[in-house]
Structure 1
Amino acid sequence: MIVTSGLTLFSIGLGAAAILGVASKLLYVKEDPRIGLIEDSLPGANCGGCGYPGCSGAAAAIVAGKAPASVCIVSDAETAAVVAGIMGQEVIEREPELAVRDCSGGTRAEDAFHYEGALDCRAAHLLYGGSKTCPEGCLGLGSCVRACPFNAIHMGPAGLPVIDPDECKACGNCVDACPRGVITVSGMSARLLHLNQTTDCLAPCRQKCPAQINIPKYIEQIKAGDYDGAVMTIKERNPLLVTCGRVCPRPCETECRRQYVDETVGINMLKRFVADRELRSGTHLPVACAKDTGKKVAVVGGGPAGLSCAYFLRRLGHSPTIFDAMPALGGQTRYGIPEYRLPKADLDWEIQGILDLGIDARLNTSFGKDFTLETLKADGFETIFLGIGAWQASGMYAEGEDLDGVMGGIEFLTAHALGQKPETGDKVIVVGGGNTAIDAARTCVRLGAEVTLMYRRTRNEMPADMEEIVGAEDEGVKFKFLAAPARVIGDENGRATHLEYYEMELGEPDDSGRRRPVKKEGSEARMEASLIIPAIGQKPDLGCLYDDGEGECPLETTRWQTIVADPDTFQTAIPGVFTAGDVYTGPDLVISAIGDGRKAARSMHYFMTQDHVPVPETTQKGMIPYTLFKEIGQVERKKRAVLPHLCHGDERNCTFNEVEGSLSEAEARAEADRCLRCGLVCYDRDADAPTDRIENANT
């Protein structure tokens, strides 16, 4: 019986072995030897940060073509190159990336309601979006911390995630875990290409800045003494910070929440402080550029828009060449802004820092004469940027304005900047109320003339910066308000001797919101003048777009002689041709030209590298209404800093030395401390300040 049972079991086992033997021959799966080689090349961390189950899973995914050779987030570029070699591939070097958190919320955001039991950000977000009043702010429950496999994130004392850049591997787990989009993983190019989104943490000042500079960040860096960091933060959006520190009219400060406590933060004077610190060092901080793409780009016009466009194109890896008709770059910043506001040596230093990135410049080269759109394309330029500015002065529409002794405002300032020393004589009349008029008037004062500035409205309606108006008054410029030119009277030699004008009165508001000036009949009077300078507007000279000044313009233009372009992409009617600056907007701010130059560079980059230019639906275009509240509580009042004056009294009137100086380090740190570090709705409160809210405290 026992023998029979044993034989039976032996037979069954022998049959099973035979079956398995046959099956092994039929079902044998041979492992690709590359999997083992790749796994041996990987660091063996088995962290799962790549999204696959350990290094063996990553190796199998690479061989299967489901993951690139650079999938491992722990290893370096050398390892990726070895893996690529095993696969017979070429690994393309990728920009370093890092997880970043640019968000408020946390403990600074008030609770809209309270609940218990939701201890995860994702769960809390499902309950009416979370308890915080800020719709985009951090909920502070630490889902990102638990998701990070490298212990690179911890929650800081403000209830916000703090990222350790030395430990972060940019795996993106924290991004996936956050339901609010508080954390992003990005590299240099992604930051340069990013447009403000309504889902970003945008303080009101940052929303208003035409260049989209991260103002709260660079002020926080100044407060911490990280001045180089502040410079680099600004340079992610603005390569002309020395220039803007002197001439920007600070639209950002008009939306500063601090004004509802005492006075706005001196945002621009802080920018000037760090810009001047770099300037005085004599050395430009190193600016990183992406790997060369080999793509040639033509930038026509070397003013703020063109310089900005070329700078950002170069940083994105392209090869821009700037063409400019003048003997030096800078556009209106060089030829329209006098030395006492912007020393040309400082401008030269700043522009040289841009060119040193690897940007070519061809000067004394006129568009429409020395080259055209067609010749640029024939020379291999893949995209073209038109930033030719607005150099043509608008007339006074007054009889006799073509007489000798009448010279347009921008023409006068340009001639003076070129060292041509235009004759002013003893009595100068400047007609206009903008910054060009003020600049011309203050320049003539320094040339020894008695100057009267004539404006058809009142002082309150003048579009010039108030500081410039006050500066002109301090230097002796006389103002003739509610007066408009009627005709220029000349002598027998055709030389202007007097300006006849009408007295005006203000009527109903016009499209600009200012009251329209109306002529008083029978109020004609005359004023003696050795030079009359109309400075009542500028417009682009588009003659360069026509063949020999005739024919049909290849681009769509407006009745204001500006070029039409898509407001989101800045592309003109000709594919591959983009524009920005004064030739697109008409005369505008330097900071606006810089900001639009970057946006045009962004579009040109996508045009050359992708099939379309992405413009997300959440792109911020106007102020975000719910962020513009005026009730600011629990904040101590602190006095705003004042820029020092370098020249005083008669010294200002007889030299072109720079008038304003820069803050000291102590003053800058104190002014930075006034910043409330605003987010969408959050701001820093002072623990010892009264808890009652302040509404319109400065009115």
Structure 2
Amino acid sequence: MVTSSILILFLLGLTAASVLAVASRVLHVEEDPRIAKVEGCFPGANCGGCGYPGCSAAAGAIVQGKAGPEICVAGGAEIAENIALIMGVDAAFKEPKIANNICTGGSRANLLFDYEGVEDCRAEALLYGGEKTCGLGCIGLGSCVKVCGFDAIRLNDDGIPVVDMNVCRSCGKCADVCPTGAIRISGMTMDLLHLNKIDDCLAPCMQKCPAQIDVRTYIHQMKLGDMRGALLTIKERNPLPLAVGRLCPAPCETICRRNIADDGVAIHSLHRFVADWEMNSGSRLKLDCNPATGHKVAIIGGGPAGLSCAYFLRRIGHEPVIFEKREQIGGMMKGIIPEYRLPAKVVDWEVQSILDLGVDVHTGVEFGKDITIKSLEEEGYEAIFIATGAWKVPALKLENIEAEGVVDAITFLDQVGKSITDLKGRKVVVIGDTNTAMDVVRSAARLGCDVTSLIDCIQRKMSANKNEVKRAAELGSDLKFLTRPTRILAEDGKVRGIEYCEVQYDDPKKATGIPKPVEGTETVIDADLIVVATTRMIDTTPFMDEDGASCFAINKKTGGIEADTLSLQTKYPNVFVGGEVHSGRSILIQAVADGRRAARGIHHFITEGAIPEPKNPQLRVIPETILKNMAVTYTIPKIKVPEISVEERRFTFKEEVKGSIVYEAARKEGSRCLRCGLTCYDAEAGAEYAQDADVQKFSELDKE
């Protein structure tokens, strides 16, 4: 019985072997020897980051033409070149990407409960949604660390993942297992063109900044002495840090959470300090740029918006060319904004840093005359960015407005130091409440004349920065609030005076509505030079067709060219606008922000043919991030930035009013930053200065 069973099993095995032998001969497919060679080039991580189940499958996909030589995320350019050599093709450029952690909160986010379940972020998120008040913060159980096949992630003392960018191979596994999105994969293009999203870890200052600068990170880097890192962080969003560090009205400071405890952080001063570090060093920070893509983009206007757009496009690999009407680029930063606010040498340094990236410039070229949209298209430009600014000061509807001695603010500022060098004995009247008006007032006062400024609102309603108003008053200028010109007095065609009246709001206490003239308050003052600085508008002439109609839709409120809010694309798909030609009169940092938004739109348009709609864009301040109470431990006095004396200001156009700060002072001010997240903050900020005489605990202040 046993012998029969063994014999039967033997015969069955023999039969199966024979069938398999025949099948192998019939069905055998000779494997392409290149598969083994290609697989041999891989590091053997089998991480799956390429999208294929292991290195063997990836090698097969390359040989079959389903994937390129550069598919391996664990390998670099050298591996791609070796594979390309085997396949007899060229390896395309693949932008390096790494994992990064957007959460800095750690234990600073309030706990909802103590979790004692499975040590896995996904399990906790699935069961309880996370035990911290911040829904997008890191849960901290290290699931990302466990799945990383390259040992590129570790948890720090706060339970926050730290990525070693030199080891990370961007396989994406950490991001796949992160249930909150605290770990993300990104590369230079994504980083430079990323628009804030409501599911980002955004401190209020980052939300309020038009350019979306990562304030929290660059201040922290500066504190650690990593000036290079701090500047790189700023330049991810702002290619003009020297200019912005001098001119920005700093809306970020008004919303700084530190204001709840004492005074907001001097973000603007720290921004300038980091930017000055590079220029003072005498050498420029090397910025990475992707290889040229061959995509040409024409940029009309060499002001801050045009320069910013060119900067971002060039860094991600495209080929921008700037066409500028004037003989110098820089827009109003060069020759219009006075040097005591923004020195020419600072502008030159900043502009050159952008040109050194490989940005071409053609000056003395006027849009609408020398070049048109059609001619640029014929020359092979795939997209056009219009950033011609708002240089036109509208004339007032006043009697004798054409009299000799009436000039607009832009003409006046442009001629200071040229045809206008001395105003001693002259009586100058400036009309307007703008920053430009204050520039005129301050410049005229420096030239030795009596200056009167007519301002048709109260001071807090002025569009000018309060610091600029303060500095204009410090020079002895007569700022007449709630006044409005009614007529210009002229004799033999020349200005000899101006009549004005008082105006008042319907509700003076609340200052609501448009101020109206107060009867019987007309007053005449002598004047031989009147400067109109009420506003600035765009010159629509270059955008007119042969019939005199505008080629673009014009916004009735701003006077600027209409465009999509996020992409800045006009009704012509290949034409984008930004800066004051789009927004109307605005601040420098808004022009910088527009340049980056436009670069994002242009990039997608010329590479994909369409611009993706941003998901969950942060368009306004996120309500939950506005806190009413905070338990901050230490109070540290806000830094005082040195300024030259008022007397010194009267005799110089070259020396900046506001001076620089030293590193230790900057570091101490930086320690006041609470390193805010979405809802969390560092209550112990500034602890390293606890022993300083000017530092106290808030509990001690309460006792006093």
After the TM superposition, which residues 644-683 of structure 1 pair with which residues of structure 2 at under 5 Å, given as runs?
Answer: 644-645=642-643, 647-656=644-653, 657-683=655-681
Q: Deviations over 1:439-464 (max 9, x none)?
A: 00000011111111111222232221
Look up the match of 1:467: 467
Partners of 1:336 and 1:436 within 8 A in 2: no
Which one is further off, 82-91 or 519-528? 82-91
Tell me the amino acid that sits aligned with residue 677 of structure 1. Answer: R
Q: CA deviation at 1:43?
A: 2.9
After the TM superposition, which residues 198-213 of structure 1 pair with which residues of structure 2 at under 5 Å, given as runs?
Answer: 198-213=198-213
Look up the match of 1:342: 342
Look up the match of 1:114: 114
After the TM superposition, which residues 272-283 of structure 1 pair with which residues of structure 2 at under 5 Å, given as runs?
Answer: 272-283=272-283
Q: CA deviation at 1:540?
A: 0.4
Tell me the amino acid that sits aligned with residue 553 of structure 1. Answer: S
Q: Distance in 2 between matches of 1:9 and 1:318?
A: 71
Look up the match of 2:187: 187
Partners of 2:112 and 2:133 within 8 A in 1: yes
Partners of 1:257 and 1:630 within 8 A in 2: no
Which one is further off, 256-265 or 450-459? 450-459
Look up the match of 2:493: 494
Partners of 1:461 and 1:514 within 8 A in 2: no
Q: 2:591 aligns with which of 583, 590, 593?
A: 593
Q: CA deviation at 1:90?
A: 2.7
Would you say 1:608 and 2:613 are equivalent positions?
Answer: no
Tell me the amino acid that sits aligned with residue 80 of structure 1. Answer: A
Look up the match of 1:554: 551
Q: CA deviation at 1:366?
A: 1.3
Q: Taking structure 1 as reference, are residues 74 and 14 closer, same or farther at Cα in structure 2, changes over 3 Å only?
A: closer
The secondary structure found in structure 2 opposite 1:539 is coil
Look up the match of 2:163: 163
Q: How many residues align?
A: 690
Structure 2 gaps, min length 5: none
Partners of 2:193 and 2:600 within 8 A in 1: yes
Q: CA deviation at 1:378?
A: 1.5
Q: CA deviation at 1:50?
A: 4.8
Q: Taking structure 1 as reference, are residues 46 and 388 closer, same or farther at Cα in structure 2, changes over 3 Å only?
A: closer
Instruction: Give the root-mean-square deviation of aligned CA atoms.
Output: 2.7
Q: CA deviation at 1:2?
A: 13
Look up the match of 1:244: 244
Partners of 2:625 and 2:679 within 8 A in 1: yes
Q: Distance in 2 between matches of 1:591 and 1:7?
A: 90
Tell me the amino acid that sits aligned with residue 680 of structure 1. Answer: L
Q: Taking structure 1 as reference, are residues 239 and 399 closer, same or farther at Cα in structure 2, changes over 3 Å only?
A: same
Q: Distance in 2 between matches of 1:587 and 1:13?
A: 89
Q: Distance in 1 between matches of 2:448 and 2:85?
A: 75
Q: Distance in 2 between matches of 1:600 and 1:193?
A: 9
Q: Distance in 2 between matches of 1:310 and 1:442?
A: 33
Would you say 1:99 and 2:109 are equivalent positions?
Answer: no
Partners of 2:35 and 2:59 within 8 A in 1: yes
Q: Distance in 1 between matches of 2:8 and 2:645?
A: 117
Look up the match of 1:363: 363
Tell me the amino acid that sits aligned with residue 399 of structure 2. Answer: E
Q: Deviations over 1:163-198 (max 9, x none)?
A: 122222211111111011111111111111211111
Look up the match of 1:131: 131
Q: Distance in 2 between matches of 1:8 and 1:528?
A: 126
Which one is further off, 348-357 or 5-14? 5-14
Q: Distance in 1 between matches of 2:461 and 2:566?
A: 31
Q: Taking structure 1 as reference, are residues 4 and 109 closer, same or farther at Cα in structure 2, changes over 3 Å only?
A: closer
Q: Distance in 1 between matches of 2:233 and 2:526?
A: 52
Q: Taking structure 1 as reference, are residues 173 and 18 closer, same or farther at Cα in structure 2, changes over 3 Å only?
A: closer
Q: Taking structure 1 as reference, are residues 14 and 610 closer, same or farther at Cα in structure 2, changes over 3 Å only?
A: closer
Tell me the amino acid that sits aligned with residue 674 of structure 1. Answer: R
Q: CA deviation at 1:4?
A: 11
The secondary structure found in structure 1 opposite 2:530 is strand
Q: CA deviation at 1:6?
A: 11
Partners of 2:221 and 2:230 within 8 A in 1: yes
Partners of 1:340 and 1:658 within 8 A in 2: yes
Q: Distance in 2 between matches of 1:3 and 1:265?
A: 93
The secondary structure found in structure 1 opposite 2:634 is coil
Q: CA deviation at 1:45?
A: 4.4
Q: Deviations over 1:219-238 (max 9, x none)?
A: 00111011111111111111
Tell me the amino acid that sits aligned with residue 70 of structure 1. Answer: E
The secondary structure found in structure 2 opposite 1:487 is strand
Q: Distance in 2 between matches of 1:11 and 1:455?
A: 109
Look up the match of 1:537: 535
Q: Deviations over 1:559-614 (max 9, x none)?
A: 35321111121111112000011111110010001001110011011110002111
Q: Taking structure 1 as reference, are residues 518 and 177 closer, same or farther at Cα in structure 2, changes over 3 Å only?
A: same
Structure 1 gaps, min length 5: none
Q: Distance in 2 between matches of 1:392 and 1:15?
A: 95
After the TM superposition, which residues 250-329 of structure 1 pair with which residues of structure 2 at under 5 Å, given as runs?
Answer: 250-329=250-329
The secondary structure found in structure 2 opposite 1:486 is strand
TM-score (norm 2): 0.93
Q: CA deviation at 1:11?
A: 7.3
Q: CA deviation at 1:53?
A: 5.3
Partners of 1:368 and 1:547 within 8 A in 2: no
Q: Distance in 1 between matches of 2:319 and 2:357?
A: 10
Q: Distance in 2 between matches of 1:682 and 1:564?
A: 38
The secondary structure found in structure 2 opposite 1:184 is strand
Q: Distance in 2 between matches of 1:498 and 1:77?
A: 73
Q: Distance in 2 between matches of 1:353 and 1:42?
A: 39
Would you say 1:420 and 2:419 are equivalent positions?
Answer: yes
Q: Distance in 2 between matches of 1:589 and 1:274?
A: 21
> What percentage of residue pairs aligned between the two structures are identical?
46
Tell me the amino acid that sits aligned with residue 506 of structure 2. Answer: G
Partners of 1:396 and 1:485 within 8 A in 2: no
The secondary structure found in structure 1 opposite 2:298 is strand
Q: Taking structure 1 as reference, are residues 474 and 34 closer, same or farther at Cα in structure 2, changes over 3 Å only?
A: same
Q: CA deviation at 1:60?
A: 3.5
Partners of 2:567 and 2:611 within 8 A in 1: yes
Q: Distance in 2 between matches of 1:86 and 1:117?
A: 51
Q: Distance in 2 between matches of 1:214 and 1:608?
A: 28
Q: Deviations over 1:129-182 (max 9, x none)?
A: 211100111111111111111221111111211112222221111111101111
Q: Distance in 1 between matches of 2:465 and 2:254?
A: 13
Partners of 1:108 and 1:683 within 8 A in 2: yes
Q: Distance in 1 between matches of 2:44 and 2:580?
A: 57
Tell me the amino acid that sits aligned with residue 323 of structure 2. Answer: F
Tell me the amino acid that sits aligned with residue 421 of structure 1. Answer: I
Q: Taking structure 1 as reference, are residues 518 and 13 closer, same or farther at Cα in structure 2, changes over 3 Å only?
A: closer
Q: Taking structure 1 as reference, are residues 3 and 422 closer, same or farther at Cα in structure 2, changes over 3 Å only?
A: closer
Q: Taking structure 1 as reference, are residues 264 and 181 closer, same or farther at Cα in structure 2, changes over 3 Å only?
A: same
Tell me the amino acid that sits aligned with residue 420 of structure 2. Answer: K
Look up the match of 1:452: 452
Partners of 1:633 and 1:692 within 8 A in 2: no
Q: Distance in 2 between matches of 1:546 and 1:178?
A: 53
The secondary structure found in structure 2 opposite 1:74 is coil
Q: Deviations over 1:92-150 (max 9, x none)?
A: 12122211112133211111233431421111111342111001111111111111112
After the TM superposition, which residues 15-94 of structure 1 pair with which residues of structure 2 at under 5 Å, given as runs?
Answer: 18-46=18-46, 50=50, 54-64=54-64, 67-94=67-94
Q: CA deviation at 1:515?
A: 4.5
The secondary structure found in structure 1 opposite 2:430 is strand
Partners of 2:210 and 2:593 within 8 A in 1: yes
Tell me the amino acid that sits aligned with residue 654 of structure 1. Answer: F
Q: Deviations over 1:616-643 (max 9, x none)?
A: 2311111100001121113311111111
Q: 2:570 aligns with which of 563, 572, 588?
A: 572
TM-score (norm 1): 0.93
Q: Deviations over 1:199-242 (max 9, x none)?
A: 11110000000001111010001110111111111111111110
Look up the match of 2:140: 140
Q: CA deviation at 1:58?
A: 3.7
Q: Distance in 1 between matches of 2:221 and 2:259?
A: 22
Q: Distance in 2 between matches of 1:537 and 1:3?
A: 109
Partners of 2:634 and 2:698 within 8 A in 1: no
Q: Taking structure 1 as reference, are residues 139 and 523 closer, same or farther at Cα in structure 2, changes over 3 Å only?
A: same
